[in-house]
Amino acid sequence: MRERRTPKHVGTYNKNLVLEVLMKQGPKSRAELSRITKLTKTAITEIVEELLSKNFIVELGQVNTTRGRRPTKLSINPNLLVLTLDLSGILIKGAIVNPKGDILMMDSVKMREIDDLLRLIERLYEPYKEKIVAISASVPGLLELSSGKVILSTSLNWRDVNIKEIIEKKFPVPFYMQKDTNAGILAETWYGEGKNYRNFFYLLLTKGIGLGIYLNDRVLDGYDGIIGEIGHTIVEIDGKDCWCGKKGCLETVASIPVVLEGYEKNDINDALHLAIKGGKMEKAIKYLGLSLSNVIQIFPPQAICISGNIPKEVLNYITERIKEYIIPNIFPQLRSKINFYYSNLGENSLILGAGVLGFIKYFNR
Ligand SMILES: [Zn+2]
């Protein structure tokens, strides 16, 4: 949410800092805000007045206690809601979230055509239409954030689909999107263990393999949304054809669908366990580990968060095994400095990340 500290951006930076504290830490008084943000009381008063006038925040009632009147607490307006979408899974998920990250309603659909997605949005939108301020999505694939276009997503089977135009034509609120790995980072830094780190990697295992990079408190956006395509770095010279048009990409060896080939089961847990026993998972983890160790040499992170829409015990297994392929392949000086963990936000992390994005964009529009 924070902008670079140039004079032009100081006002926006400070306003966002106050909103960020209220979103992450809950209701605070003016004095508490001043202490936490290190902004003067006068600055806080000005910012609070502006945010109250825009209805972004509200004053909670004063509480009288035996020790006198406690100062009024300020809170993000709880009546602002965002409709969020996670387009990464086999099922497309949608939800209504509030600024605290509570999910008020959730629904999903198996998408065959875009109309299925629009009907899902409609079902979520109708009951809350008075309060929804934005629709916000976590999207897999190559995106052009400036236009709202999905350039290519094999996971969605979309090429040059301007999803922003399609959704804004039908619903009277702004649409925002972010690459799925970056939505995941937002969720981690807002609600997960990621809030403890200034630099970390977010490895996302869905149908593809993506790497979100959080560097010096900032989510790396890359050039107009293309970033962290670790799944399309070459790991086998003259290897198998990849959907991206190249050969031997990491995704051709280590993506979850590749690991599960030959173990088609109704239950993904059963299939994953067979893949672990049969050694296919081990090969995938080895390649993932080697690829990550290459990136670590370039941007050493404080932590690596492993996430994906697979069961937590499998994420835990991957997290434990992957260290064995990373540690010997990075500088000894780095070995004890990197924390490995799997995201405990579970399967809703991309929904929550898209929610954070929606609020940030709404407050800065
Ligand atoms: Zn590729």
Query: What CATH number corresponds to the domain at position 105?
Result: 3.30.420.40
The answer to whether position 292 is within a domain reads: yes
Structure confidence at residue 63 (pLDDT): 59
Ligand 1 centroid to Cα of residue 317, in Å, is 26
Same domain, 198 and 338: yes
Among 18, 52, 76, identify where a domain stops: 76
Please check whether residues 152 and 243 belong to one and the same domain: no
What is the distance in A from the centroid of ligand 1 to the CA of 114?
25
Instruction: For residues 18 and 108, state if they share a domain.
Output: no
Q: Is the pLDDT of residue 6 over 60?
A: no
Tens of pLDDT, residue by residue over 195-237, are: 899 999 999 998 889 999 999 989 898 776 678 999 999 999 9
Q: What is the pLDDT of residue 8?
A: 53
Asked if residue 340 belongs to a domain, the reply is: yes
Question: How many angstroms does the Cα of residue 237 sit away from the middle of ligand 1?
Answer: 12
Per-chain mean pLDDT for the chain: 91
Tell me, in angstroms, the distance from the centre of ligand 1 to residue 246's CA: 5
- 276-330 pLDDT tens trace: 888 889 999 999 999 999 999 999 999 999 999 888 889 999 999 999 999 999 9
Residue 337 forms part of a structural domain: yes
- 154 with 267, same domain: the answer is no
Q: Which letter does DSSP use for residue 70 in this model?
A: P
Residue 188 lies in a domain: no
Q: So what's the pLDDT on residue 49?
A: 95
Which one of 57, 76, 95 terminates a domain? 76
Cα 250 to ligand 1 centre (Å): 7
CA of 123 to the centre of ligand 1 (A): 36
Contact indicator for 280, 314 with CB cutoff of 8 Å: no
Residue 23 belongs to a domain: yes
Quote the number of domains for the chain. 3
pLDDT per position as a tens digit, 90-145: 789 999 999 989 999 999 999 999 999 999 999 999 999 999 999 999 999 889 98
Find the 270 Cα to ligand 1 centroid distance in Å. 28
Are residues 226 and 92 part of one domain? no
Please say if the pLDDT value at position 346 is more than 90.
Answer: no
CA 251 to ligand 1 center in whole angstroms = 6
Domain span at 68: 7-76
Same domain assignment for residues 22 and 88? no
Residue 66 lies in a domain: yes
**From the CA of 147, how far away is ligand 1's center (Å)?**
24
Same-domain pairing of 41 and 57: yes
Rounded to the nearest whole angstrom, what is the distance from the C-alpha of residue 293 to the centroid of ligand 1?
19
Rg (C-alpha) for the chain, rounded Å, is 22
pLDDT at 62: 64
For residue 245, is it left (φ>0), alpha (ψ between -120 and 50) or beta?
A: left
More confident residue, 90 or 69: 90
Q: In this structure, how many other beta carbons lie within 10 angstroms of the beta carbon of residue 281? A: 23
What is the enclosing helix (H) or strand (E) of 2?
none
Residues of the chain with pLDDT > 70, as a percent, come to 94
Secondary structure of 158-218 in the HEC alphabet? EEEEEHHHHHHHHCCCCEEEEEHHHHHHHHHHHHCHHHHCCCEEEEEECCCEEEEEEECCE
Answer yes or no: do 334 and 201 share one domain: yes
Rounded distance from Cα 229 to ligand 1 centre (Å): 9
Q: What is d(CA 350, CA 307) in angstroms, rounded to the nearest whole number?
A: 10
Angle at 364 between CA 140 and CA 76, to 5 degrees: 100
Please, which residues have CB less than 5 A from ligand 1, an ion? 232, 242, 244, 246, 249
**Residue 328 and residue 272 share a domain:** yes
Does the residue 234 lie in any domain? Answer: yes
Say whether both 217 and 107 belong to one domain: no
Q: What is the CATH number of the domain that holds 60?
A: 1.10.10.10
Q: Are strands 28-29 and 68-69 parallel, antiparallel or unpaired?
A: unpaired
In this predicted structure, what is the pLDDT of residue 106?
97
Query: Same structural domain for residues 107 and 216?
Result: no
Domain shared by 118 and 203, yes or no: no
d(CA 246, CA 58): 53
Domain presence at residue 270: yes
Tokens of 204: 């996302």
Name the domain boundary from 76, 91, 119.
Answer: 76
Residue 251: per-residue pLDDT: 95
Q: Which of 45-49, 61-65, 144-148, 249-253 has the lowest mean pLDDT?
A: 61-65
